[in-house]
């Protein structure tokens, strides 16, 4: 991912539930894949997260991951509680960080 799809943030509060991140980005009826260190969609004690929108395949009834709508959050090494946030598009990155800031979870570095 390119520089305009990456950012560094500092954790300043409790993280939102994993499902709330996806619902804010893609809507309450979205279907998404998630991976990371959360213990489920209602966990707010996570530091590593990958979420991607799932879309119905036009040729059959199966759902597949849309890698054009993908977000990754990873802890940075060091003593400070910092995260690397990367997204498939600049718009997705901005929407995600704005949401996390509004929830009081992070601030931009």
pTM assigned to the model: 0.88
User: Above 80 in pLDDT, residue 104?
Assistant: yes
Contact 66, 52 (CB under 8 A): yes
Give the mean pLDDT of 4-12.
Answer: 94
Q: In the structure encoding, which two tokens stand for residue 14, read together?
A: 């409790």
Lowest-confidence segment of 36-50, 54-68, 79-93, 95-109 by average pLDDT: 54-68
What CA–CA distance (Å, rounded) separates 82 from 76?
Answer: 5
Predicted pLDDT at 40: 85
């Amino acid at each position: 991912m390119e520089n305009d799809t990456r950012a560094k943030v500092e954790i300043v509060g409790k993280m939102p539930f994993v499902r709330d991140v996806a619902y804010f980005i893609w809507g309450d009826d979205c279907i998404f894949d998630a991976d990371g260190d959360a213990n489920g969609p209602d966990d707010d004690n996570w530091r590593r997260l990958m979420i991607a929108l799932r879309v119905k395949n036009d040729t059959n009834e199966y759902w597949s991951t849309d890698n054009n709508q993908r977000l990754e959050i990873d802890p940075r090494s060091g003593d400070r509680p910092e995260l690397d946030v990367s997204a498939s598009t600049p718009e997705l990155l901005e929407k995600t960080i704005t949401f996390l800031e509004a929830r009081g979870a992070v601030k931009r570095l």
